[in-house]
Structure 1
Amino acid sequence: MAIRANQAHYDVVIVGGAVNGSATAYFLANNPDFTGSVLVIERDPSYAKSATALSSSSIRVQFSNPINIQISQYGADFIRNFGEIMQVDNEKPDLTFHENGYLFLADHKGFDVLQRLHDTQIQNGAKIDLLNVDQLIQKFPWINPDRLEGATYGRADEGWFDNYGMVNGFRRKARALGVEYIDNEVVDIRREGNKVIAVHLKNGDVVGCDTLVNCAGTRGTKVARMAGLDIPVEPRRRSLFVFACRTPLDDKVPLTIDPTGVFFRPEGQFYLGGTYPRIDPEVDPDDFDVLHDEFDEEVWPILAERVPAFEAIKVVNSWAGHYDYCVLDHNAIVGPHNEVKNFLFCNGFSGHGLQQAPAIGRGLSELIIYGNYRTLDLSPLSYQRIIENKPFLEDSVI
Structure 2
Amino acid sequence: MITRQLYNLCKTIVRLNRGIHTSVMNMQEQEHPISRTVRILKDDLTNFVKTPFQGPTNPPNIFPRHVDIAIIGGGAIGSSIAYFLKEKTGLRGVNIVVIEKDSTYSQCSTVLSVGGLRQQFSLPENIQMSLFGADFLRTLKKRFGPDADVYFTPNGYLMLASEHGAQQLLDNAKLQRELGAVNKILTKSELKERFPWMEVSDVEAGCLGLEKEGWFDPWALLGLLKRGAIDLGTQYINGEVVGFNFDDQQDIIVDGQLSGTTQRLEEVQVKLPNGDIKPIKFAYCIIAAGAESGEVAKLAKVGNGAGMLTVPLPVERRKRYVYCFECQENGPGLNTPMTLDYTGLYFRRDGLGGAYITGLSPQPDEEPCTSNLEVDHDFFTNRIWPLLAQRVPAFNALKVKSSWAGYYDYNMYDENGIIGAHPYLYNLYLATGFSGHGIQQSPAVGRAIAELIIDGKFQTLDLTRLGFDRILVDKPMYEVCIF
The TM-score, its normalising length taken from structure 2, stands at 0.79
Q: Does residue 82 in structure 1 map to residue 140 in structure 2?
A: yes
Structure 1 CA distance, aligned partners of 2:377 and 2:466? 35
Note the C-alpha offset of 1:191: 1.5
The one-letter amino acid paired with 1:257 is L
Cα RMSD between the aligned structures? 1.6
Map Cα deviations across residues 103-158 of structure 1 (whole Å, 9 max, x no partner): 01111111121111112112212101111011111111111112111100100111
Change (3 A) 1:280 1:172: farther
Structure 2 CA distance, aligned partners of 1:51 and 1:63? 21
Q: Which residue of 2 aligns with 1:52?
A: 110
**Which residue of 267, 270, 275 corresponds with 2:360?**
275
Structure 2 CA distance, aligned partners of 1:24 and 1:58? 20
Q: Which moved more, 1:249-258 or 1:211-220?
A: 249-258
Q: Does residue 220 in structure 1 map to residue 302 in structure 2?
A: no
| Local SS of the residue matching 1:358 | helix
CA contact (8 A) 1:104 1:256 kept: yes
**Which residue of 183, 195, 199 corresponds with 2:238?**
183
Note the C-alpha offset of 1:5: 4.6
Structure 1 CA distance, aligned partners of 2:365 and 2:178? 34
| Local SS of the residue matching 2:88 | coil
Q: Which residue of 2 aligns with 1:29?
A: 86
Q: Which residue of 2 aligns with 1:16?
A: 73
**Which residue of 323, 343, 358 corresponds with 1:241?**
323
CA contact (8 A) 2:159 2:208 kept: yes
The one-letter amino acid paired with 2:181 is A
Q: Which residue of 2 aligns with 1:383?
A: 468
For residues 317-336 of structure 1, the aligned pairs below 5 Å read: 317-336=402-421
| Local SS of the residue matching 1:134 | helix
Greater helix proportion: 2
The one-letter amino acid paired with 1:197 is E
Structure 1 runs (4+) greater than 3 angstroms displaced: 3-6, 279-286
Change (3 A) 1:284 1:58: same
Structure 1 CA distance, aligned partners of 2:190 and 2:180? 22
CA contact (8 A) 1:237 1:280 kept: no
Structure 1 CA distance, aligned partners of 2:376 and 2:169? 30
Q: Which moved more, 1:324-333 or 1:113-122?
A: 113-122
Q: Which residue of 1 aligns with 2:176?
A: 121
The one-letter amino acid paired with 2:65 is A
CA contact (8 A) 1:80 1:97 kept: no
For residues 237-316 of structure 1, the aligned pairs below 5 Å read: 237-246=319-328, 247-268=330-351, 269=353, 270-279=355-364, 285-316=370-401
Map Cα deviations across residues 10-54 of structure 1 (whole Å, 9 max, x no partner): 000000100000000000111246821000010011111011011
Q: Percent identity?
A: 38
The one-letter amino acid paired with 1:110 is G
CA contact (8 A) 1:239 1:274 kept: yes
| Local SS of the residue matching 1:79 | helix
Q: Which residue of 2 aligns with 1:195?
A: 264
Note the C-alpha offset of 1:283: 6.1
Note the C-alpha offset of 1:396: 4.1
The TM-score, its normalising length taken from structure 1, stands at 0.95
CA contact (8 A) 1:84 1:92 kept: no
Q: Does residue 64 in structure 1 map to residue 64 in structure 2?
A: no
Note the C-alpha offset of 1:397: 3.3
